[in-house]
Amino acid sequence: MKMDTDIQYLQGVGPRRAELLRSELGITTVGELLHFYPFRYIDRSSLQRIADLQPGQSYVQIRAQVLKVRLYAKNGAELPAEQLKFNMVSRMSVIVGDGSGEMEIVYFRGIKWLHSKLIPGSVFIFFGKPQVFNGRINMAHPEVDSPDSFSAGALSGVYNSTEKLRNAGFTAKLMQKLMGSALEMVLPSLKETLPDDVLREKGLCPLSFALRQMHFPTDQAALAKATYRLKFEELFYLQLSLVKQKFIRSRNAVGIPMPHVGTAFHACYKALPYSLTGAQQRVIKEIREDLVSGHQMNRLLQGDVGSGKTMVAVLSALLAIGNGYQACIMAPTEVLAQQHFANISKYLAPTGVKAVLLTGTTGVAARREIHAGLEDGTIGIAIGTHALIEDNVRFKALGLAIVDEQHRFGVDQRSRLWAKGAGGRAPHVLVMTATPIPRTLAMTLYGDLDVSVIDEMPPGRKPVQTICVGENKRHAMHNFIRDEIAKGRQAFIVYPMIFENEKLDYKNLELGYEEIIKAFPLPDYKVAIVHGQQTPQEKEFNMSAFVAGRANILVSTTVIEVGVDVPNASVMVIESAERFGLSQLHQLRGRVGRGADKSYCILMRGYKISNESKRRLELMCATENGFEIAEEDMKLRGPGDLEGTQQSGLPISLNIASLAKDGLILSDARNYAEHLLDSDPTLTKPGHEILAAELRKDKYSSKDYSRIS
């Protein structure tokens, strides 16, 4: 029997159970069953005396003799053995003893079979959870084994299950029986999935040993060896596939050479009213090295809100211009594109470089003029939305494409931009995100990109004071906003909009808006509202009113999460803050604290919140470090569910490794994958055929979230 054998042909399964395993657990082959690992282990290495059992203990094991068996009907009456009909029985009580004491064991299911087995005078091992009933210790539904099945040092695996599986008789015992059958059938002909040199250099145990120990560990040390081997293998192949893509692309993608710096770069740099941070300088150096390398740049720039990514984008664009090429900056929304244009125009003032704004609302005459300027090269930098990728937009010599908040754009949209490169060559690519991503996740989601991180905030940027309050402080919160508005400031009030219940959330927003209108009436206050059910024009009108200062308060859903830059806004109120993920809360908080004034983020929470929500809100109040928050968010929520990354999962599904917990193994696997490809880039060395064959499997090519060109 092989790993890819249909699960129904495994002894003890058959068509009915196979269908259940497929629908409930996604298991279709024997190999998938063996890679379905226990999520925890119970120590069955010791026996306890009945006299020592305490309620509330975890699972315990006793060796005891059956002393008495009684059967009861649904009405509680005991059924005499001579009139026994099992369809009348609802409960079986078994009294057992071990010399130190006696206890009751109760069964409500499988009574007919158990009654034939648990004969008074026989001895068994009982494994279950002690509990108290009518003031006495008992056990409900313990597992029953023969006394010779006990072995000191044994650990028993516990597998994830579902109610449907449990009702169909998929007990822990059955799962172990199936795993045992699968191992006996597969292990004799099992092929190793890692080359000998990898096993030797990394000190890994063989696959056959690892699989047996995962399901039937002899001791903790053997289990640790097996776990490490399987985690390393998963993460190693994941990284090998990504590093190989990166290697192939870097060899094949000839980049537009940009050896010069140019006068425009120097003019902008010298005119800056402040010094760049060390992190900004480091990132610009990394980008410059890419541009002169002869290979196409594909770089991800991560930086927390307000860390100075826009400045890096401007200087990068000016490097392209200094070499005779054009640059474009694509933003996901019109408001963000307008903000970029306004900010970048200031930076470009001393350079003489012409920049234009191209969006969906650009007029026909202005659009005609912009198209002509891009084609004849008089326009150096085009800033815009998806309007930049329309077919009639042609550049004379596009050398650098910068995409802000790249997760908001689809692959097709981006590829249309790359097709506009000078001379048919793909432009250099810089993608930027203000969503901090933990290093282990970035290494996986963007594994074939080079990653730069701005991990330093510009000097003088004031921290945002974050406080968490309950409903009883709502009146005080309104008074605080009034005080800030009296000082000439503005406030955001954000409501959750979670897609599963859009109608309910929309109602919450509407009620909240009505409450704010009552608390902040005309003519003293002006309140704007923005949400996903408005037309783009309505959204634009209300957002623009707030940005321009015509509205004091913006009531909104999370559509304002990315990019809205209102230096005059000093208060961010987040309603039902417990319903947001950490990364999203951090993004929302980043909308304030962008001006010279002291800024505040007020987290409004409900009366009853979970411990996990409490931890999230406490962390928000304790730190402003986006990367620290993202790491914690991944631990709490799992890598596939990080809000802000907008990813539907990972390039391959992980059965045993965790990006949140196995960062050290992931880094080691990444380094080893790079080391191996340095010495054998085509994976054709003797023994490495295994690696090439594994990478050809569908799971490594079906999803590639990081390809951007």
Best CATH choice for the domain 464-623 from the list 2.40.100.10, 3.40.50.970, 3.90.470.20, 3.40.50.300: 3.40.50.300
CB neighbour list of residue 694: distance below 8 Å, 6 or more residues apart: 193, 237, 700
How is domain 46-151 classified at the CATH fold level? OB fold (Dihydrolipoamide Acetyltransferase, E2P) (2.40.50)
Phi, psi dihedrals of residue 63, rounded to the nearest 5°: -105, 120
Task: Return the closest-CA partner of residue 577 out of 606, 552, 536.
Answer: 606
How far, CA to CA in Å, does 51 sit from each of 44, 55, 58, 154?
A: 19, 12, 16, 23
Query: Looking at the whole model, is its pTM more than 0.85?
Result: no
* pLDDT tens, residue by residue, 366-379: 999 999 999 999 99
**Alpha helix stretches (DSSP H) within 308-438:** 309-321, 334-348, 364-376, 411-418
Determine whether 709 is exposed, middle or buried from the number of CB atoms within 10 Å of its CB (0-12, 13-18, 19+): buried
Residue 69 CA to residue 381 CA, distance in Å, equals 87
Residue 706 CA to residue 447 CA, distance in Å, equals 7
Give the other-Cβ count within 10 Å of 686's Cβ. Answer: 9
> What is the pLDDT, as a whole number, of residue 492?
95
- Kindly state the average pLDDT of the residues 130-142: 87
* pLDDT tens, residue by residue, 43-92: 777 788 999 998 877 788 899 999 999 998 888 888 876 667 777 888 89
> What is the pLDDT, as a whole number, of residue 305?
74
**Residue for token digits 């004491």?**
101
Of the two residues 590 and 236, the one the predictor is more confident about is 236
**Would you say 208 and 182 are in contact if contact means Cβ atoms under 8 Å apart?**
no
Residue 240 CA to residue 426 CA, distance in Å, equals 25
422: confidence class by pLDDT, cuts 50, 70, 90: confident
**Residue for token digits 């991503």?**
437
325: confidence class by pLDDT, cuts 50, 70, 90: very high
Domain extent listing, the chain: 46-151, 263-293+307-433, 464-623
**Fold: same for 263-293+307-433 and 464-623:** yes
Residue 601 CA to residue 599 CA, distance in Å, equals 7
Residue 123, pLDDT above cutoff 90: yes
Mean pLDDT taken over the chain: 85
Q: Where on the phi/psi map is residue 353: left (φ > 0), alpha (ψ -120 to 50), or beta?
A: beta
- Kindly state the average pLDDT of the residues 682-702: 81
> What is the pLDDT, as a whole number, of residue 543?
86
Residue 498, pLDDT above cutoff 50: no
* pLDDT tens, residue by residue, 214-235: 999 988 899 999 999 999 999 9
Tokens (6 digits) for 411:
């692959």
> What is the pLDDT, as a whole number, of residue 251?
66
Residue 705, pLDDT above cutoff 90: no
Tokens (6 digits) for 114:
């158990």
Residue 402 CA to residue 314 CA, distance in Å, equals 10
Question: In CATH, what is the architecture of 263-293+307-433?
Answer: 3-Layer(aba) Sandwich (3.40)
Q: What percent of the chain has pLDDT above 70?
A: 88
In DSSP terms, 525 is beta-bridged to: none
Of the two residues 141 and 351, the one the predictor is more confident about is 351
> What is the pLDDT, as a whole number, of residue 447?
67
Residue 699 CA to residue 202 CA, distance in Å, equals 24
DSSP string across 161-202? --HHHHHTT--HHHHHHHHHHHHHHHGGGPPPSS-HHHHHHH
